């Protein structure tokens, strides 16, 4: 059996205990350091739709002509996430071209 040394990403302390699991099954950890402002964390962030890199890729794929379902399948995120991001970005670019 292998053990994994877990350190808090904020304070780099090794005084960490397990703190349950996420609904998707990912393990959560809790930092026991009293001065650390971050108490619960995960080792691997799993919500890809919230990452800035993914948001940039959504816009790039839309500008290159990819559809919503195609973008969602390629990036491994939901179609609702793609639609929400495009709705946030869409009106700004169309307003700037219409004002003449």
| Residue 93: per-residue pLDDT | 52
| Residue 64: per-residue pLDDT | 94
Name the CA dihedral angle for 16, 18, 20, 21, rounded to a multiple of 10 degrees: 90
| Residue 92: per-residue pLDDT | 58
As for how many domains the chain has, the answer is 2
Collect the ranges in the chain with pLDDT lower than 50.
94-97, 100
Does 39 lie in the same domain as 52?
A: no
Kindly state whether residue 100 falls inside one of the protein's structural domains: no
| Domain ranges, residue 31 | 1-46
Residues facing 40 on adjacent strands: 30
Does 59 lie in the same domain as 42?
A: no
Q: Nearest to residue 59, comparing CAs of 92, 89, 80?
A: 89
| Residue 91: per-residue pLDDT | 61
| Residue 2: per-residue pLDDT | 80
Separation of alpha carbons 7 and 55, rounded Å: 29
Does 86 lie in the same domain as 59?
A: yes
| Residue 96: per-residue pLDDT | 47
| Residue 75: per-residue pLDDT | 94
Does 84 lie in the same domain as 55?
A: yes
Phi, psi of 22 (to 5 degrees): -75, 165
Does 86 lie in the same domain as 69?
A: yes
Provide the 8-state DSSP code for 72: H
């Amino acid at each position: 059996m292998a053990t994994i040394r877990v350190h808090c990403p904020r304070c780099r302390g090794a005084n960490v205990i397990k703190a349950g699991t996420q609904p998707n099954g990912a393990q959560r950890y809790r930092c026991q350091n009293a001065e650390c402002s971050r108490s619960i964390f995960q080792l691997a962030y799993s919500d890809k739709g919230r990452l800035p890199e993914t948001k940039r890729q959504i816009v790039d794929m839309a500008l290159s002509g990819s559809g919503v379902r195609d973008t969602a399948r390629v990036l491994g995120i939901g179609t609702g996430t793609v639609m929400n991001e495009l709705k946030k970005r869409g009106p700004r670019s169309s307003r700037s071209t219409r004002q003449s």
